[in-house]
Amino acid sequence: MKVELPAAGSRLIRGGQVVAPLLILALAFALRVHGYNFDDGQLLQPDESSIDQTAQSLGCCLGNPQTTPPTWPNPLSHFFMAAHAPYNPYTFNYGSLPYYLLAGLSRAAQALGRTIPFLRGWQAAGDLVHINWIGRWLSASFDTASLFLLYRLAVRIFERAVALLTMSLGALTVLDIQLAHFYAVDTLLTFFVLATLLAAIEVATTNSLRSYILMGAGFGAALATKSSAFPLLIPMLGAAALSLSRSTSSSGLNRPAGLTSEASFAARIRSRLSVAATPQRVQDPFSSRLNLALTGLLSAMLAALLVFAVCEPYGIIDHSLLVANVKQQNAIIVSHTLPLPYTLQFAGTTPYWYDLKNLVMWYMGPALGLTACFGLFWSAYKVLTRRAHASQLVLFLWVIPYFLIVGAFWAKPARYLLPVIPLLTLFASALLVESIRGFRGRLRLLPVAVALVVVLCTAGWAVAFEHIYSTTNDQVAASTWIYRHLRPGTPFATEGAWDRNLPLCLPQPGGCPSGYGSYQLNLYDPDGKAKLERLVHALTHDRFIVMSSERFVDSIPRNAPLFPLTARYYQLLLAGRLVVTRKVAELELLRLAESLGL
């Protein structure tokens, strides 16, 4: 007997399909903006601080990007003169789009503050601290919007249950939450990567010109955000190839396998009606589809070029600087032929394994990380054995090449993996939902329990991590302690350049008293007589050694052949021998320096 839901029940279900994603997005956004001023306006993340300063300098005085005028100059003023153009960021370590977005929003906020009386406080949006806050809200917004794209992608390839679970787990993923608290372009890059892949899925299934253009536009925006988006060409070409391999009966109108039964049935009916009404499309020769694919790819490349030219015009006008910056970043990050202090921490790390280990242990959490790995292999098996819709191959053509490229880098910051983590979450969700559907009766309780454990563990991981933003930042707390417990003029040493020296100048009244200058050891300088003299001076005259972070103590002992004297200093420090036997430690350092010829 056929049972029909009453109209009110159908409306309730449809309403729930809209409300549930909105609630998840609201939760995700709240987690990402909670405690956005966690560092008390200190701009402690160096990449973020550099982006803020560059954004502040845009639209600035001709030939002098160091001062900020109150108004925007003419956009066409010296536009093609790279050395004097006011909107040239003069750096291409990142794409220009993040700079322009941040600068535009901060200037728009200033304009609103000058125009609307109750928004008068927004006139301060042009200073570095407020630009930093705007950037963090922008980063949180893009990361939340990425979840919506991920939801659309999951519905397109799998089904709504997978999409909702993917959104939920993505909202709780720790690395996403952390990076949304910084404006360091990776959240923007992930958004444009997902937009490009979503359009590529449409290309693979419909072969429509509109999908090609959207795919190219997303690719251009991703390139204008970060050059590491270049491997997107692989899934783009793969999507075009898949559009040629579709069966002629589909005619670009069928939905992928894995949809809900109602949607799949409707898709099949529409496809058959289309075939019956337009039989000439069924007989469309391969050459016609090939011409359409080639035309689409050409349109995609033109769209990418146009978007890139608009979002990063000086990447074309000042292309020599772009090439030079990309080469420099490759030498620093990829090959380590240009070693810098902030990449020394990766000495001794194993390519690929380092990223995989941290992905499971920290970035996603053990429960979600392991499930994502199993889901990746399971989905790959299904694609290779043709048990899944071929459009899933588009996702693998991004995840696998990107990881093979990035995992081989010398430098392995966590944020480099962000563009693939949403898709790993998608594979994990697909595995969990498919496991639940694959069992019957009481046996279904097992995969349900596993899915529940993964969700609860991931939520617990997120709640534990969110505690960071509910407490005072360590460096701010240490600065407060120094001001309260050390008298002005107390001699103390800090580790020196390439880290923030404490105490910080705090924004509250009385938070930046005089008399707290430190003796800087500059421990990243090459070992030599000058460094030896500084260490001996610190042991002899200073009462405290203030360590702002683990940057020095974690990286220098890893590079003992480069810093034998400094590595020994840290060994003595961590063993407590510098505290209780300063003279013995001083003599030991002197003997080591003598043996090294210093």
**Model pLDDT, residue 290:** 84
- Phi and psi, residue 579, nearest 5°: -85, -45
Q: Are 133 and 37 in contact (CB under 8 A)?
A: yes
| CA 354 to the chain's CA centroid | 18
Outline where DSSP puts E strands in 35-98. none
Q: Which of 257, 246, 547 is nearest to 382 (CA)?
A: 257
Distance in angstroms (rounded) separating the CA atoms of residues 493 and 591: 22
- Note whether residue 565 is domain-resident: yes
Angle of helix 445-466 versus helix 366-384 axis, rounded to 10: 130
- Give the pLDDT confidence score for residue 538 in this predicted structure: 86
Q: Given this model, what pLDDT does residue 87 score?
A: 87
Average pLDDT of the chain?
86
d(CA 290, CA 293): 5
Whole-number pLDDT of residue 574 = 80
How sure is the predictor about 14, in pLDDT bands with cuts at 50, 70 and 90?
low
Decide which of 576 and 371 is more confident. Answer: 371
The predicted structure's pLDDT at residue 277: 45
**Residue 529's domain spans which residues?**
474-595
What local confidence, expressed as pLDDT, does residue 251 receive? 39
Domain membership flag for residue 422: no
Residues in Cβ contact with 317 at an 8 Å cutoff, skipping those fewer than 6 apart: 79, 80, 82, 85, 88
Q: What pLDDT is recorded for position 85?
A: 82
User: With DSSP H G I counted as helix, E B as strand and the rest as coil, what are the percentages for the chain, rounded to 5?
Assistant: 70, 0, 30
Residue 526's nearest CA partner among 561, 501, 553, 492 is 561
Taking the CA atoms of 404, 410, 412 and 416 in sequence, report the sign of the dihedral they define.
negative
Give the confidence band of 583 by pLDDT, cuts at 50, 70, 90: low
Please compute the mean of the pLDDT values over residues 494-517 and round it to a whole number: 87
Cα separation, 91 vs 329, in Å, equals 11
Q: Confidence class of residue 229 from pLDDT cuts 50, 70 and 90?
A: very high
pLDDT at 3 over 90: no
| Cα–Cα distance measured from residue 592 to residue 122, given in angstroms and rounded to the nearest whole number | 57
The CA-atom distances, in angstroms, between 507 and each of 130, 399, 475, 476, 535 are: 13, 43, 14, 10, 32
In-domain check, residue 258: no
- 382-395 residue pLDDT tens: 988 888 777 899 99
pLDDT in tens, 525-578: 999 888 988 888 888 888 888 888 889 999 999 999 999 989 988 888 887 766
- 492-494 β-sheet, strand order: 519-520, 492-494, 544-546
pTM for the model stands at 0.88
Residue 576 CA to chain centroid, in angstroms?
Answer: 39
Q: Could you report the per-residue pLDDT of 180-221, keeping only the tens digit for each?
A: 999 999 999 999 999 999 999 999 998 899 999 999 999 999
Please give the pLDDT value at position 121: 85
Report the pLDDT value the prediction gives residue 284, as an integer from 0 to 100.
Answer: 52
125's CB contacts (< 8 A; 6+ apart) are: 106, 107, 109, 110, 113, 131, 134
Residue 586 forms part of a structural domain: yes
> Which pLDDT does position 62 carry in this prediction?
45
Whether 205 maps to a domain, the answer reads no
Output the pLDDT for position 281: 47
Q: Residue 257: what pLDDT?
A: 40
| pLDDT(581) > 80 | no
Answer whether residue 15 shows pLDDT above 60. no
Q: Which residues contact 147 (CB under 8 A, 6 or more apart)?
A: 24, 25, 28, 167, 170, 171, 422
For residue 389, the model assigns a pLDDT of 78
In this structure, is residue 560 part of a structural domain?
A: yes
Share of the chain above pLDDT 90, in %: 58
What pLDDT does residue 276 have?
Answer: 45
Q: Is residue 39 part of a domain?
A: no
The domain total for the chain is 1
> Is the pLDDT confidence value at 462 over 50?
yes
Q: Give the relative orientation of helices 421-437 and 366-384 as an angle to the nearest 10 degrees.
A: 80
- Residue-level pLDDT at 569: 87
Q: What pLDDT was estimated at residue 434?
A: 93
Structure tokens of 98? 């993040």
Please write the tens of the pLDDT for every residue from 90-114.
Answer: 999 999 999 999 999 999 998 898 8
Alpha carbon distances (Å) from 576 to 43, 48, 551: 32, 35, 19
> Each residue of 247-304: pLDDT tens digit?
443 433 334 444 444 444 445 445 544 444 444 444 456 787 788 889 999 999 999 9
Average the pLDDT over 307-327 and give the result.
94
pLDDT at 72: 66
More confident call, 62 vs 181: 181
Find all residues with CB under 8 Å of 251, minimum gap 6, and list them. 271, 274, 275, 278, 281, 282, 284
The C-alpha atoms of residue 347 and residue 358 are separated, in whole angstroms, by: 16
Residue 64 pLDDT level (bands cut at 50, 70, 90): very low
- 445 pLDDT higher than 80: yes
pLDDT at 11: 56
Tell whether 392 is covered by a domain.
no
Among residues of the chain, what percentage have pLDDT more than 70?
84
Cα distance between residue 85 and residue 76, in whole Å = 9
Q: Per residue in 320-349, pLDDT tens?
A: 999 999 999 999 999 999 999 999 999 999
